[in-house]
Structures are given as C-alpha cells and as structure tokens.
C-alpha cells in the first residue's frame, strides 16, 4: 500500500515537473516575426526599421526577434496591409496612398494642407489616429504611423506658375493625383519603386514627393527642377501594422515594451524625414537643379486651385457617415500651431 502511495506521489511529481517545464518552455520560446518594408535597404527608413527590430529584441530579452525584408521583396507595397491581415507577413509598412479608398477617413492626412515639416506631419497622423480611432484599421494592430515631409513638385522643366504645369505628366499617388489634376497636369500613378524608370524613360515628366526621394530613390539624377509650393504641400501617411493574432499571442509585458518603443520611434521617424529632406535638397543643388519659390500671388492661385479637393473630401465622408469635417478641422487646427 505504501509502495503504491509513493509511486502515486512520484508520478504526480513527474507530471507537475513536466507541466512546469512545458509552461517555462512556452514562456521562453522565441517568436520570430517578418517585417515587410518597401524602401531599399540603404534608405534611412530601412536603417530605422532595423533599429526598431533590434530594440524589440533587446527590450523583450530576446523573446521577440524581427527579420526585416527590404525593397518590397516580401510583399508589394499595395498588398502589404492585406498581407499582414492574412498573416503572409507579420508586420508591414506602406503608404495609405497605395490603396486609395481603403482608408477613407485617414485620407485627410494626404490632403494638400500646407505641411511645413516631417515632424509636424508625423505627429499629426498619430494624434489624428488617437482621437478618431478609425474602424478602417480594425483588422490589424496599429503600431504607429509616420508621414513624410512636405510633398512638392519636381519636374524636368521649371514650373513657376500654373500655366507651366499644364499638360505635364506627373507621377502622383492617392489624393496627390487630384492635386496634380487641379493644377492642370495629368497624374500618372505608380509606386515610388517604379518612378525612376518612368521618369528616365519619359513616361512621366515630374513627380510629387518630398525632397527625400531625390536622394533616397536617386530621382535627383533624372529631375532638374523643384517648385517649393509649401502653401499646398501635401504629405503621405505611412502605417506600421502587425497581424492581430500575433499581437494577441504576446504577453502583456512584451506588448507594453513594444508600445514604449513605438512611441520613441514616432519621434525618430519624424526627425528622419526632415533630415533626409535636407540631404535630398543638397543632392539636387549639387547637381545644378533649379529651385523655384512661388511668389505670394502665385501661391494664392495654387491654394485656390486645390481648395475644392478639401471640400470634396468632406462631402464624400459625409456620404459615408464619417466625420470628415471634424477630421479636416482637427488637422488644419493642429498644423496652425505646429
């Protein structure tokens, strides 16, 4: 009888030890995540993505490791969001503009609001998301957003007034395509990764983008002029999102650590946009490009030309029962003080 009892106790001990070991193993098991990034590997934003990945591994004590796939090698930019939803990639970054209509309320960020810096644009899009929490992102875990420094017009031939842009084929995505059309040009849609070839082969005569792309994507090699139309400068919002199931499978401590990192990298990305803008402009100037600043009178004409785009956004959102008027007012008020 005693022997039976001791065997039962021993069996119970072994089972308990196995359960504890199993739990311990589950807690120590490393989660490896894929990160789809469309910028080329040498780009500053690719460098920052790698820094983010290293911080995640460091502050989760190695429990979470992130492998970043650069240059759209994992998923094309226009498919990144859906690839994260479906688990093809665990994390992804892309521009809202690459899937126009998919994030209707958030397109307010891409309007020609007169941006002055990448810091202001990046802070704005994150504050906008906190305030409005649009349901269009409910299928993923939003890590954070960033937005590029002022989107200007870069061309092969100088553009100093509205009449100069008439008939030009300008690469533009999302709502910036409407800006080009409002100014009298013809918009040509394509991802940034295809723009160099399009410009060099004459498929496009110019592009709307920040100075960053002149160096980051070497567009300064095929473009000769920049029109600094800050009064109607647009931005493009970029999301960094994670598969919801992967996020839910993490421990609370791990999620808290990553959230803290995200807050820090919002600041990093905003500053990076402005820094690489300076590098892009310097690259163009060195190559002898013409930099044009609009006169006050001309800028007023450009602002009036694009105003209907803002009004149309509000009207379209109203038809969808979305608070477009509130979102637009929030953004304009924010930019007045930042």
The predicted-structure confidence for 242-265, as pLDDT tens digits, reads as follows 999 999 999 999 999 999 999 999
Alpha helices in the chain, H assignment, sequence order? 2-28, 44-59, 80-85, 118-132, 162-165, 176-182, 195-200, 212-216, 244-248, 252-286, 296-319, 324-336
The domain locations on the chain are: 2-98+119-148+237-277, 152-235+278-336
Supply the pLDDT for residue 24: 41
Please, which pLDDT band fits residue 4 given cuts at 50, 70 and 90?
very low
The CB-side HSE value for 196 (13 A sphere, CA atoms) comes to 10
Answer yes or no: same fold for 2-98+119-148+237-277 and 152-235+278-336.
Answer: yes
Angle of helix 118-132 relative to helix 252-286, nearest 10 degrees? Answer: 150
DSSP state of 29: P
pLDDT of residue 216: 85
Q: Beta strands 152-155 and 225-228: pairing type?
A: antiparallel
Is 152-235+278-336 a CATH 3.40.190.170 domain? yes
Whole-number pLDDT of residue 193: 84
Instruction: State how far the Cα of 213 lies from the Cα of 195, in Å rounded to an integer.
Output: 10
pLDDT, mean over the chain: 92
38-71: pLDDT as tens digits:
998 998 999 999 999 999 999 999 999 999 999 9
- The answer to whether domain 2-98+119-148+237-277 has CATH 3.10.129.10 is no
Cβ neighbour number for residue 189 with a 10 Å cutoff? 14
Query: Residue 141: enclosing H or E segment and its boundaries?
Result: strand 140-147
Does residue 96 have a pLDDT over 80? Answer: yes
Q: How many CA atoms lie within 13 A of 132 on its CB side?
A: 27
pLDDT tens for 186-244 read 999 988 889 999 999 999 999 999 999 999 889 999 999 999 999 999 999 999 999 99
Residue among 157, 103, 109 nearest 134 (CA): 103
Can you spell out the DSSP letters for 246-262?
HHHTS-HHHHHHHHHHH
Q: Which contacts of 252-259 are long-range, i.e. CB under 8 A and separated by 24 or more positions?
A: 254/60, 254/63, 254/64, 257/56, 257/59, 257/60, 258/56, 258/59, 258/60, 258/64, 258/143
Identify the band that residue 338 occupies on the pLDDT scale cut at 50, 70 and 90.
confident
Q: Looking at the DSSP assignment, which residues form a beta bridge with residue 207?
A: 154, 171
pLDDT at residue 52, rounded to an integer: 98
Read off the pTM. 0.85
């Amino acid at each position: 009888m005693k022997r039976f009892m001791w065997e039962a106790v021993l069996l119970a001990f072994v089972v308990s030890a196995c359960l504890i070991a199993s739990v311990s193993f589950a807690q120590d098991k490393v989660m490896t995540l894929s990160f789809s990034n469309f910028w080329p590997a040498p780009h500053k934003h690719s460098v920052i993505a790698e820094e983010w990945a290293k911080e995640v591994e460091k502050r989760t004590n190695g429990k979470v490791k992130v492998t970043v796939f650069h240059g759209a090698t994992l998923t094309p930019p226009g498919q990144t969001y859906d690839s994260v939803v479906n688990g093809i990639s665990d994390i992804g970054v892309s521009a809202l503009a690459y899937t126009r209509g998919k994030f209707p309320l958030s397109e307010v960020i891409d309007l020609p609001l007169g941006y002055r810096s990448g810091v202001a644009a990046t802070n704005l899009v994150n504050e906008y998301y906190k305030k409005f929490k649009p349901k269009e992102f409910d299928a993923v875990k939003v890590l954070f957003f960033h937005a590029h420094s002022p989107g200007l017009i870069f061309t092969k031939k100088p553009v100093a007034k509205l009449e100069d842009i008439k008939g030009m084929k300008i690469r533009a995505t999302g709502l910036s395509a409407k800006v080009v059309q409002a100014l009298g040009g013809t918009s040509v849609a394509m991802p940034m990764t295809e723009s160099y070839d399009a410009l060099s082969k004459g498929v496009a005569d110019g592009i709307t983008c920040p100075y960053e792309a002149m160096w980051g994507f070497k567009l300064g090699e095929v473009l000769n002029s920049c029109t600094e139309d800050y009064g109607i400068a647009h931005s493009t919002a970029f999301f960094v999102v994670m598969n919801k199931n992967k996020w839910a499978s993490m421990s609370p401590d791990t999620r808290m650590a990553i959230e803290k990192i995200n807050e820090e990298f919002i600041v990093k990305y905003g500053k990076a946009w402005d820094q690489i803008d300076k590098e892009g402009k310097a690259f163009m100037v060195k190559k002898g490009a013409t930099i044009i600043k609009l006169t006050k009178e001309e800028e007023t004409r450009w602002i009036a030309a694009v105003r209907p785009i803002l009004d149309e956004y509000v009207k379209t959102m109203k038809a969808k029962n979305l608070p477009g008027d509130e979102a637009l007012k929030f953004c304009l008020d924010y930019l007045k003080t930042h």
